[in-house]
């Protein structure tokens, strides 16, 4: 039994492009329903400042770089050593899988666990999972903080739409509740074992007979891995230095993440007038929360686009500018990342071959 089971294969083809095209169509149907002038949107797209927009693309690359450093800090602390390049390739490859296989980071995280275990041994599974769970806990903490800061800034700048306030409040409470539950399960080994047992029973009850044996084997593997996982979590608790360093990188990650829509709006403004940071913080926090719901839609099919446009307009930005900025932002955070992550996945597949080739060359040189 592999730890974890091998993630589903992802390939790039006609079917891969079908869902994003449906998503684009869904988004344009949405803005058409609200009678937004599509001609005005396309005219606005042509006014974008290419230099500033290029900086936004660069910010996207830097964002993922700091995100991977944040995770690498945690996993290296647990003595599962990854280079900066390898951690970046793993994160980018995970992004590719997350886009194709809809489970919001769960699929990408499973891929990372699988690839590291395959390279460094199944005994690393518990440690890798602990690093990923801890990283997600820190990410959820940052998400709650961003929503609270954004809401506070809105109050200092003027009145806020009650609907937006209630939505932010609901998401803040929901994420906080999930965060507390995840922390409890991470440190209460008996609780997590009970949850694993319950999930296995549910899986066996609702799955076809041919899958029951596999589900049972996965449950046994999860139970065996739980000990290493909880020991790793205790290590983080005893020595929180790695947590603070990782959190510092995550703060930088969020700064560059929010700067992407900020730069997009600036690139669309002839006078260079920036959009208030409060609007960007709230919108970014809500989009991250919405995307974290594993509803099973590849390429997120229009959901972030609809959320972003709605939030921008609810917070006072006109429809045409909101829709245009959303399109340009998603070109970076979805399409650009999709192609970069596809390249990263191919490089990751080539690394073992390149490594063997380098070893063969070194062996030949040593024989002379």
In a domain, 363, yes or no: no
CA–CA gap between residue 63 and residue 247 (Å, rounded): 14
CA–CA gap between residue 236 and residue 186 (Å, rounded): 11
| Residues contacting residue 256 through CB under 8 Å, at least 6 positions apart | 59, 60, 62, 63, 66
User: Lowest mean pLDDT: which of 165-169, 237-241, 242-246, 326-330?
Assistant: 165-169
Residues 116, 121, 122: CA angle, nearest 5 degrees: 90
Query: What distance separates the 2 farthest-apart alpha carbons in the chain?
Result: 77
Domain of residue 339 covers 14-356
97 by Cβ neighbours in 10 Å (0-12 / 13-18 / 19+) ranks as: buried
In a domain, 332, yes or no: yes
Tell me what the pLDDT averaged over the chain comes to. Answer: 80
Contact 48, 267 (CB under 8 A): yes
Phi, psi of 293 (to 5 degrees): -85, 110
Q: Does the pLDDT of residue 239 top 80, yes or no?
A: yes
Q: Tell me how many domains the chain contains.
A: 1
The pLDDT value recorded for residue 348 is 81
Average pLDDT score over residue span 284-301:
68
In a domain, 72, yes or no: yes
Contact 100, 294 (CB under 8 A): no
User: For 312-346, what is each residue's pLDDT tens digit?
Assistant: 888 888 888 888 899 899 889 988 998 899 899 88
In a domain, 3, yes or no: no
Closest CA to 226 of 180, 194, 200, 179: 194
Closest CA to 228 of 156, 360, 133: 133
User: For 82-99, what is each residue's pLDDT tens digit?
Assistant: 999 999 999 999 888 887
In a domain, 81, yes or no: yes
Phi, psi of 172 (to 5 degrees): -60, -45
In a domain, 364, yes or no: no
User: For 111-169, what is each residue's pLDDT tens digit?
Assistant: 888 889 888 887 888 899 889 999 999 999 999 999 999 888 887 776 677 888 888 88
Give this prediction's pTM: 0.83
In a domain, 368, yes or no: no
In a domain, 330, yes or no: yes
CA–CA gap between residue 170 and residue 176 (Å, rounded): 10
DSSP 3-state of 59: helix
């Amino acid at each position: 039994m592999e730890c974890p089971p091998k993630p589903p294969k992802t390939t790039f083809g006609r079917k891969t492009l079908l869902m994003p095209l449906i998503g684009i169509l869904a988004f344009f149907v949405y803005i058409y329903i609200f009678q937004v002038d599509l001609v005005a949107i396309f005219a606005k797209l042509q006014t974008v400042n290419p230099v500033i927009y290029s900086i936004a693309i660069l910010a996207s690359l830097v964002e993922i770089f700091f995100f991977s450093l944040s995770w690498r800090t945690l996993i290296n602390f647990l003595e599962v050593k990854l280079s900066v390049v390898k951690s970046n390739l793993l994160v980018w490859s995970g992004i590719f899988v997350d886009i194709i296989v809809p489970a919001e980071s769960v699929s990408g995280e499973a891929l990372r666990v699988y690839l590291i275990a395959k390279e460094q041994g199944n005994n690393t599974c518990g440690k890798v999972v602990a690093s990923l769970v801890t990283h997600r806990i820190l990410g959820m903490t940052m998400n709650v903080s961003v929503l609270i800061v954004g809401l506070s800034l809105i109050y200092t700048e003027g009145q806020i739409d009650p609907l937006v306030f209630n939505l932010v409040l609901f998401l803040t409470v929901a994420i906080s509740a999930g965060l507390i539950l995840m922390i409890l399960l991470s440190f209460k080994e008996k609780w997590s074992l009970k949850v694993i047992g319950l999930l296995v029973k549910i899986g066996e009850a609702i799955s076809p007979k041919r899958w029951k044996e596999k589900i049972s084997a996965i449950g046994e593997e999860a139970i065996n891995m739980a000990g290493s996982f909880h020991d790793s979590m205790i290590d983080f608790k005893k020595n929180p230095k790695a947590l603070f360093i990782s959190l510092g990188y995550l703060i930088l990650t969020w700064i560059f993440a929010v700067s992407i829509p900020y730069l997009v709006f600036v690139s669309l403004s002839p006078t260079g007038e920036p959009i208030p940071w409060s609007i960007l913080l709230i919108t970014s926090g809500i989009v991250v929360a919405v995307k974290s719901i594993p509803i099973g839609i590849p390429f997120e099919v229009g959901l972030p686009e609809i959320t972003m446009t709605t939030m921008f307009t609810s917070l006072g930005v006109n429809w045409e500018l909101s829709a245009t900025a959303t399109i340009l932002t998603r070109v970076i955070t979805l399409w650009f990342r999709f192609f970069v992550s596809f390249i990263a996945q191919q490089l990751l597949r080539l690394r073992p071959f390149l490594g063997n080739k380098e070893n063969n060359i070194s062996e030949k040189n040593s024989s002379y």
